[in-house]
Amino acid sequence: MPVPQLLKNKRYLFWALQLGGWSSWAITFYLGVLVSSEPPDLYAAYLLTISALGLLITLLLRALYQCVWEKDIIIRALAILLGSFIAGVAWMACRIAIFTSLFPKTEKVVKPEMEIWTQIEGITSAFMIMVVWSALYFGIKYYLLAQEEQQRRLKATAMAHEAQLKMLHYQLNPHFLFNTLNAISTLILDQNTQLANTMVTRLSRFLRYSLDNDPMLKVTVADEVEALKLYLDIEKVRFDDRLQLNFDIDPVAQLALMPSLLLQPLVENAIKHAISVAINGGSISVNASVSGNKLILSVADDGPGVELRNRDMPQGNGVGLANCRERLKEIYGDHQSFSLTDTEPHGLTVYISLPLELQQKLS
């Protein structure tokens, strides 16, 4: 089983640590005896047997600890000390019994378990081994629980992040829908059914695009511009020649990735505050270019402009701008910039700088 999968499966991890730990103890103990004296022929089998017994005894300790896991910390501490002591004594008694039965004629120099003082030392050693096992058990279990809690927090944060992005993504200005439906109604009353049908079709395509695109995913600048043109085709019906559009999209920038429907609220804001309030309308320019490792986007209008405060809109204005700013913060953090400047000789320009991500071309 791959290591990452092993670490995620508590059962496999427990048994891997159990088998690995007790096998390591047996090998280490055998090598220690081998350095000081020549062990009997069956000594390796003896060590494997008592290691297996130690493993079984610690399984009982595990069951005990699972019973007291939700108890008070004092009860858990007493369970560790008493459980480890009883387990150590039981394990040492089994070691002595097995050693005596396997090596009845072995001299005392090679069977230290038979010495009383060594038995006390052996019980202490066994007790310490069980304490260490218990400490590792609790430590690893608490660590895994902490990791799970961290994963839950990260997942909850990610879900909140996704919900925030979706809320911002789907926050279409109700004025746009109201004005569009009102324009369609007017066309129907004027019996201009062909243009009304065209407008309904464009609105349907735009809404389908806005709802079908996952705000967690990114689209190319080319796709974003096409969606923006769907929206502007609808507005062109309302404003006719009063709305002039200019697109300047760098060929390299067309393959760059960006959040979907990021520019639509900016253009909508320009139409609302620049085009609709001017008797002769005005123009909107949408630009996209690449500068180093940055994608530079801008939306400019030649309307009456607005008095900026610290390069920002007055409080209470520019809901669409605030929407875009929040989306960029959610997606890119500090690796983006969003700024407002005056358009010469009059108007407002929005500049956006994003990390450059290019769509991979299919071969």
**Alpha carbons 299 and 290: distance in angstroms, whole number:** 15
pLDDT of the residue at 108:
46
Between vectors from CA 284 to CA 283 and to CA 287, what angle results, nearest 5°?
140
DSSP 8-state secondary structure symbol assigned to residue 232: H
CB atoms within 10 A of CB 353: 18
SS3 70: coil
The answer for 333, left when phi > 0, alpha when psi is -120 to 50, beta otherwise, is left
User: In order of start, what are the domains of the chain with their CATH numbers?
Assistant: 3-166 (no CATH), 173-355 (3.30.565.10)
pLDDT of the residue at 233:
85
> Once rounded to an integer, what is the mean pLDDT over residues 189-207?
86
DSSP 8-state secondary structure symbol assigned to residue 119: H
Cβ partners under 8 Å of residue 353, min gap 6 = 294, 295, 296, 297, 336, 337
pLDDT at 7 over 70: no
pLDDT of the residue at 37:
75
Task: Find where tokens 């909107």 sit.
Answer: 284
pLDDT at 78 over 50: yes
Sheet holding 294-301: strands in order across? 243-249, 282-291, 294-301, 348-355, 337-342
> Once rounded to an integer, what is the mean pLDDT over residues 345-350?
88
pLDDT of the residue at 112:
47
**Alpha carbons 101 and 122: distance in angstroms, whole number:** 18
> Once rounded to an integer, what is the mean pLDDT over residues 187-202?
88
Q: What is the pLDDT of residues 304-326, one digit of tens each?
A: 877 776 656 655 556 678 878 88
**Alpha carbons 78 and 83: distance in angstroms, whole number:** 8
Q: Is 17 exposed, middle or buried (0-12, 13-18, 19+ CB in 10 A)?
A: middle
pTM over 0.75, yes/no? no
pLDDT of the residue at 362:
47
Q: What is the pLDDT of residues 208-252, one digit of tens each?
A: 877 777 666 788 999 989 888 888 888 888 788 888 999 999 999
Residue-averaged pLDDT of the chain? 81
pLDDT at 160 over 50: yes
Closest Cα to residue 361, out of 289, 287, 257, 290?
A: 257
For the chain, count helices (H), then strands (E).
10, 7
Between vectors from CA 129 to CA 126 and to CA 130, what angle results, nearest 5°?
90
> Once rounded to an integer, what is the mean pLDDT over residues 109-133?
71
**Alpha carbons 106 and 33: distance in angstroms, whole number:** 15
pLDDT of the residue at 246:
92
